[in-house]
Structure 1
């Protein structure tokens, strides 16, 4: 008779226990760094979700108008602003999305300050100005992107988002039911078994159920960062990636130069792409006689509006030429919030002298990742519908709750009366380090800054924390 042998249970149990506690330690250490950033990003995200409501409440007298039958030509509205602010450069015209809201003309002072001049489209009256850098959205977006400390803040957020992926993966492992203990709180809230158990259930179940949502926010956010985003992802998904504008001359400026301050107005896959240039070698005097509406050698903005509407633009913003070789740019995209359907994304460049269409980039020109980003932006910003916005509010509050419950759990289980962090214990068995090494290598390849941070921490632990008694005790 054949007898079936089974692996020794103590060894299997020991390995499972070792893997569990190693995962818990990684989850704990990642959480120490990531939680403050999740709180910051969630809180600023809430502010950005209600940007329109906040700005309309703050600047109601500058934004609300009485609808009438006919709007003035764009050139007349821009001329009214230029007359009011003769020393300012006109950089952009934004058509309002509702008939009772003023149009906006972006102007730049000689000192480089960007303002919105709001203008009644029916009367041409300039209602006033709004400093673009002083909006709540601009402040929240600045914190959301760089913590208001430039590249350093961008790198810190990229590290946090990268470690957030590690936090997510380890959290899913800890949450998924494996034994009676983990099954007891799976998709349940045990409110009668003490604060720590309740907080654990709330933390684990919220994090587990919303893991895909959190991963979406992390990856879409990482796509804007300086290292992983611009270097590893954005550069390889920029249109055009492997070819230039063809016969059109190329500018040294990129599409990112059209952004105002820290506002992201250009589609993600166009930011790094060079701008085309206008042909400045025209006989401007002859053109001025043929086209009396031209100003300073450039074709009238009304001609550009007509051409844009012929292309199918209904909602748009117009960027004015920057210098003699600059172009008119008409854009409507989900990034700037002009539209909510990414399939209608369009960016068109026109020669400022002839009005010739130089480059026309639409949804069909986007590659797969660029399409995912264009679609993801609308979801990320809550622009698709009231339901989308309401869900994003819930997600932000849920991420805040996950972070706070994690802190409360640590506070309850930390060693009382000792100067120690209360790090989960280490149970080492032969071979378990291989699982950790594979995970570390994968993270370092996919998210370099996160991998470098973990490697630096391990080196620091080996050189310092494990050798200095006080530090070693503090990490127990």
Structure 2
């Protein structure tokens, strides 16, 4: 009797999973197709940008770079009026140009104001954009980027550095050997920004990001129910099959074989989505998995007649404690401010580094490296660059296979359905009344967790249940032909 009951419960669960899988596919397919196609385009971003911007980003190998103060001064002279110096990115490779990043001043006009800022996609590990650095004044650049201000100015709270650029950012590229300006490029005009906005919100405004998030949420449901349907009879695909049986075997194999990559891609995509990202961040903070934060209130102490550090002196101080990687330097905002140093290369997460330096002595006031990252921080520091294909050619190859696999899985699934579907019917499986009770505690916890962490799923699920009810619970009930 128990064996018979277990068999009935198993069949009921399979029918429920099949039906949910179908509805998830119906909701997710349009968005998933767009995400897969635009993602495949994004995979080739490094090669496209190398072709477009290589002449300004790459230089002849540098044996000896000029002092950083001279290079920054050259960039300041080339920057448009109304732009403030924000950050300098010092490359690790001797064939890369120095990047000097500017953004519109508080009182200046933003020539790219009609674009959305370049802060989207910082990922879970990145905080707010770096605060503004005051512009240098006079003919010569201020040695440390420290603005002239009242000596009694209050120290500003330190903020966490990140990989994002300020809104309206403009990068001036400088050859470290000669000080020659190799090019100037607005961040919003980069191909990668266009491809990112196409992939994340189809070139629409910020309010349209829910579309891709909705698709990703229901793709997660597709993945979970697909694995649940495959698991009881798990096997390698059989050969020699024809027709619908052939498509079923390879549809299942593609979905499951790409399951781990799918989970990583979907999870990392949802972490920086608009609504699910907020829920994941809240859970992260609640469980003590937030990344280490630079303490608020860090400030520099001027001893006697000590002069503030120049750019080269700050870089030298940073190199004494920072890894041999590309470094992002953000100068102090006032005489009590600090130098903020962070690693600027996402493709080397294990070199992740952040520090605060005294603006006069160069002594570290705070440091944080990979060993101090939480498990969640390490996972996202690896997962997000992987999602973006930033680990090199092998990463791009994996994402290319994944994107093609997603397209095959979606199209083969619908091909199977229409081969099975009877004219005038939805041809969905009948779901027995005990199906929901047969799920078990594990599946219920998974369901509740998905609804809690994916708000667009929670909001759309009642509508899907209503549509399912209107379609009729009887699988053989006829519906109007399209």
Per the TM superposition, whether the score is higher than 0.5 is yes
Kindly tell me the number of residue pairs found equivalent between the two proteins.
413
Q: Distance in 2 between matches of 1:118 and 1:157?
A: 34
- Is the contact made by 1:441 and 1:451 (CA closer than 8 Å) also made in structure 2? no
In the TM superposition, what whole-angstrom CA distance separates every residue of 1:296-324 from its partner, at most 9, and x where no partner exists?
xxx31212211111003322232424743
Structure with bigger RCO (C-alpha 8 Å, 6+ apart): 2
**1:257-336 residue pairs with structure 2 within 5 A?**
269=291, 276-277=296-297, 279=299, 287=305, 290-291=306-307, 294=308, 299-321=309-331, 323-324=333-334, 327-332=338-343, 336=345
- Asked if the contact 1:277/1:351 (under 8 Å) is kept, the reply is no
Q: 1 CA distance for matches of 2:193 and 2:326?
A: 21
Q: After TM superposition, give the deviation of residue 71 of structure 1 in Å.
A: 0.8
Q: Given that residues 47 and 137 in structure 1 are in contact (C-alpha distance below 8 angstroms), is that contact kept between their aligned partners in structure 2?
A: no
Aligned to 1:187: 236
More moved, 106-115 vs 206-215: 106-115
**Aligned partner of 1:92 among 87, 92, 95:** 87
Residues of 2 paired with 1:425 and 1:238: CA distance?
41
Instruction: Tell me, in whole angstroms, the C-alpha distance in 2 between the residues paired with 1:384 and 1:59.
Output: 20
The 2-side partners of 1:313 and 1:441 are apart by 43
Kindly provide the CA deviation profile for residues 155-188 of structure 1, in whole angstroms up to 9, marking residues without a partner as x: 343333333232112111222354xxxx7xx422
When structure 1 is superposed on structure 2, of 58-67 and 359-368 the one drifting more is 58-67
8 Å contact kept, 2:169–2:187? yes
Q: Quick check: 131-140 or 407-416, which moved more?
A: 407-416
Q: Is the aligned partner of 1:41 residue 2:28?
A: no
- TM-score of the superposed pair, with normalisation by structure 1: 0.75
What secondary structure, in the 3-state scheme, does the structure 2 residue paired with 1:90 have? Answer: strand
What corresponds to 2:395 in structure 1?
Answer: 388
TM-superposition CA deviations, 1:260-319 (whole Å, max 9, x none): xxxxxxxx836xx57745637869xx75xx43xx5xxxx312122111110033222324
Q: Give 1:140's match in structure 2, choosing from 195, 202, 212.
A: 195
1-side partners of 2:337 and 2:193: how far apart? 27
**Structure 2 unaligned residues grouped into runs of 5+:** 111-167
**Does the 8 A contact of 1:346 with 1:361 survive in 2?**
yes
> How much has 1:82 moved relative to structure 2?
0.3
**Residue of structure 2 in register with 1:28 after alignment:** 22
Corresponding position of 2:269 = 221
2:170 alignment partner in structure 1: 115
- Answer whether contact 2:355 2:366 (CA < 8 A) is retained: yes
Unaligned runs of 5+ in 1: 1-5, 243-267
CA deviation profile, 1:399-449 (whole Å, cap 9, x unmatched): 222122223333434444x4x6x35132424x2232459646632334422
The verdict on how the C-alpha distance between 1:361 and 1:96 changes in structure 2, with shifts beyond 3 A counting, is same
Q: Which residue of 2 aligns with 1:426?
A: 430
From the superposition, tell whether residues 149 and 86 of structure 1 become closer, same or farther in structure 2 (CA, over 3 Å).
closer
Asked whether the equivalents of residues 190 and 197 of structure 1 are also in contact (C-alpha less than 8 Å), the reply is: no
* CA–CA distance in structure 1, aligned partners of residues 360 and 460 of structure 2: 52
How much does 1:55 deviate? 0.9
User: Whole-Å Cα distance in 1 between the matches of residues 169 and 370 of structure 2?
Assistant: 30
SS of the aligned residue for 2:173 comes to strand
Supply the RMSD in Å over aligned alpha carbons: 3.5
